Structure 1
Amino acid sequence: MREFSADYLETTREGMWGDSRAALVDLDLSTRERVLDVGCGTGELTRVLAEESDADVIGADADPRLLAAASEVAPVVQADATRLPFVDDAVDLVVCQALLINLPDPVGAVEAFTRVSSDLVAAVEPDNGAVTVDSTVDSEPPLARRARERFLDGVGTDVTLGAGARDAFEAAGLDVVSTRRYDHERVVAPPYSEAAVETARRKATGEGLADDRETILSGETSEGEYDDLRSAWRAMGRDVVDQMSDEAYVRTETVPFFVTVGRVE
């Protein structure tokens, strides 16, 4: 299981579901009584589930550091996704967001969800291979695509799962009700947040790419190819910083998420 910091989760999920929650319609949230959000992280989706229903919503995550933040949103429990400490049929909806893509055995997790749900199971999973980037720095979109391809080649789980979650649902014995797409757009534009400025700095120094060095080199990327990529990445980052100083930098990243809903037979 890949681990993430609270800051990373809050940054990457910022604004998600703020524009539309139509992709969640098949969860029938208004009729739910007990909802479990597995891999809740800092509680971004947990909050949405609580806002859209009158149900008792519980968050579950293996990382106690993340649960400290999620506990401000709803009751939480520390738990592994494949070994949930709940009796059979304990809730009528189990949901996860960007969890299956980080698990070596997504089917095993969905089987655990199926056991504790009396009705529905839903997964909100991205296709990280289909992420697009538009930027006022011309070199950024192709470099972002190149870095993403190198990263995906070395990562050990299926982070492109997206709509393919239905295969895991069917393997776990669920009747797939629907799969709906939701595009999460993250825009960086003036006035720049502290997080955006820090991200630009890390591009210019190459720190951001260095965080992924081990994963990238786990694939077919050589040390020399990585060094060339990081050099180009730093040059791109300096252009980003320059444009930011003129308040001219604008970047839009679009991450496609797929909401797969299954019914317990």
Structure 2
Amino acid sequence: MREFSADYLSWTREGMWADSRDALSPLELENRERVLDVGCGTGELSRVLAAECPGKVVGCDADVGLLERAREHVPVVAGDALRLPFPDDAFDLVVCQALLINLPDPAAAVDEFARVSSDLVAAVEPDNGAVRVDSSVPAEARLERRARRAYLKGVETDVTLGAETRDAFADAGVDVLETLRYDHDRTIAPPYDEHALAAARRKATGAGLAGDRATMLESDLSAEGYDDLKNAWREMGRTVVDQMRDGEYRRTEVVPFYVTVGRV
């Protein structure tokens, strides 16, 4: 399973449910007594669940470092999604966010979720192949599409799972009740926060792209093609930095998430 830093998880999930929680309505949170957030990471979804649910919410993740952040919001337990450290029917809702896309066998995890749930299982999973980017730097969206295509072809798990999460539910014998789409909008605009400034610097140096080099080369992208992409990426990054210096840079990224809910 891929590993992510606490800062990365906090940034990508921050504010995800701030504007609308309608897509979470099938979880019937107002009626839940015990909820488990599997792969909770730093606890962004756990915090939302705890705010909406009158019962107890527990976070679970294999990374004990991430759990230190999640502990600020809910009680936490260290555990593997495929071997949850809980007895059968311990919860009436088991949910995960952006977890199944990182597992080689999503159905095996859903099957384990169903074991410890007496009622509902839910998964909030993105389709990373359908991400939309709009930028004041004309080359940015085009280069990100190019880099994303290579990454998606090289990564070992299905990070485009999205709406097809329902297939994993069916394979695990969980009856799908509903699938709702929720678009997570991340916007960068003045005044720029430290994360936005750091992201721009990483573009200008090519550091961000370099972190995915091995994965991208597992696709049909050649080493020479990667070098060409990196050079164009760095040039684009320098334009981003210049626009930021003038207060003109704008970037919007829309990531489609699909909330799949089933009954065991």
User: What is the deviation of 1:218?
Assistant: 1.4
Say whether residues 1:8 and 2:11 are aligned partners.
Answer: no
The residue identity in structure 2 corresponding to 1:121 is V
1:94-152 deviation digits (Å, cap 9, x = unpaired)? 00000000001111000000000000000000000000000000000111111100100
Q: Quote the offset at 1:221 in angstroms.
A: 1.0
Alignment of 1:59-208 (within 5 A): 59-208=59-208
Cα offset, 1:220, TM superposition? 1.4
Relative to the length of structure 1, the TM-score reads: 0.99
Q: Which amino acid aligns with 1:136?
A: S
Amino acid at match of 1:164: E
* Gapped regions of structure 2 (runs ≥ 5): none
Instruction: Kindly state the Cα deviation for residue 239 of structure 1 after the two structures are TM-superposed.
Output: 0.5
In structure 2, what is the equivalent of residue 245 of structure 1?
Answer: 245
Shift of 1:14: 1.6
- After TM superposition, the score normalised by the length of structure 2 is 0.99
Cα distance in 2 for partners of 1:148, 1:204 equals 18
Distance in 2, Cα, partners of 1:150 & 1:232: 15
Cα distance per residue 1:58-109 (max 9 Å; x no partner): 0000001100100111110110000001111000000000000000111100
Write the distance in 2 (CA, Å) between the matches of 1:123 and 1:136.
34
2:32 counterpart of 1:32: yes
Q: Give the Cα separation in 2 of the matches to 1:175 and 1:110.
A: 11
Give the distance between the partners of 1:161 and 1:86, measured in 2 at CA: 27
Query: AA paired with 1:37?
Result: D
Q: What is the number of residues matched between the two proteins?
A: 264
SS in 2 for 1:139: helix
> What is the match of residue 220 of structure 1?
220
1:51 corresponds to 2:51: yes
Offset at residue 55 of structure 1 (A): 1.3
User: 1 CA distance for matches of 2:124 and 2:171?
Assistant: 17
For 2:195 and 2:85, the matched residues in 1 are separated by: 36
**Structure 1 runs, 4 residues or longer, greater than 2 Å off:** none
**Pairwise CA RMSD:** 0.4
Question: Match for 1:105: what amino acid?
Answer: D
User: Aligned with 1:231: secondary structure?
Assistant: helix
Give me the whole-angstrom Cα distance separating, in 2, the residues matched to 1:55 and 1:100: 25
Shift of residue 233, structure 1, vs aligned partner: 0.3
The unaligned stretches of length 5 or more in structure 1 are: none
Of all paired residues, the percent bearing the same amino acid is: 69
Partner secondary structure for residue 160 of structure 1? coil
